[in-house]
Amino acid sequence: MSLPPVLRASVTPPELELIACQELVEIIPLIPMEKTAFIAGAYGPLRPPHRARIPIWMALNLKQKKKCHIIAPDWLSVEYLEAKIKDETTQTQFTELPFHFAEISRVLLDGATDDLQNPDKLRTLLQDLREARQAKARAGLQNLEHSSLRLSNLSAMEINEIRPFFIQAMAVLKQLHVPPK
């Protein structure tokens, strides 16, 4: 293959970000717009002050031009994340979070900071959550098997991060494995 080795194993974080931006988010538009057809589908109409659901990439674009307010998803709040961190540190399993939570939270924290409540606190909480989950993935490494791996509720970004070396490590284990007679 002509791809450089780093791109062969998995997609890059910016690519995941692009995929995550297809998810829908609620906005309060500040401009009216008719229902418009895009390649991904038709969105709108936007009628202020009624809420509308549009893809994140579009919301961010409108936001940049100050033509809408983004309403943060339910899970992107201090209380929700604090509860999740508590679950995360008390349970052995990964807690359930939106599949693209890492990407969405980052783009919203970057592009729509003023629409979020307490963004600095959110950032710290997300960082804590990420670290707690990383510690778990690391513990899972010890029990790595040659044939299968079960890590429920892992998010896209986390899977992507561990994919290259988990695959390689499992391939090695498979070579070393001899089935019991």
d(CA 98, CA 156): 9
* String marking each residue 10-49 x if it binds other proteins according to CB under 8 A: x-xxx--x--------------------------------
Residue closer to other proteins by CB (options 74, 114) is 114
Write the burial class of residue 78 (CB in 10 Å: 0-12 exposed, 13-18 middle, 19+ buried). middle
d(CA 5, CA 39): 32
Interface with other proteins (CB under 8 A), residue from 1, 6, 37, 39:
6
Residue closer to other proteins by CB (options 14, 49) is 14
- The 3-state DSSP composition of the chain as helix, strand, coil percent (nearest 5) reads 50, 10, 35
Query: 10 Å Cβ neighbour count for 151?
Result: 15
Residue closer to other proteins by CB (options 62, 157) is 157
d(CA 138, CA 22): 30
Query: Could you tell me which stretch among 45-53, 64-72, 75-83, 106-114 binds other proteins (CB under 8 A)?
Result: 106-114
Number of residues that bind other proteins (CB under 8 A): 34
- SS3 (DSSP) at 97: coil
What is the phi/psi pair of residue 53, to 5°? -110, 120
- SS3 (DSSP) at 91: coil
* String marking each residue 54-83 x if it binds other proteins according to CB under 8 A: ------------------------------
Query: Could you tell me which stretch among 54-62, 66-74, 80-88, 139-147 binds other proteins (CB under 8 A)?
Result: 139-147
Who contacts 120 (Cβ-Cβ below 8 Å, separation ≥6)? none
Residue closer to other proteins by CB (options 67, 146) is 146
Contacts with other proteins by CB under 8 A lie at 6, 9-10, 12-14, 17, 106-107, 109-110, 113, 138, 141-142, 144, 146, 157, 161-165, 168-169, 171-173, 175-178, 180-181
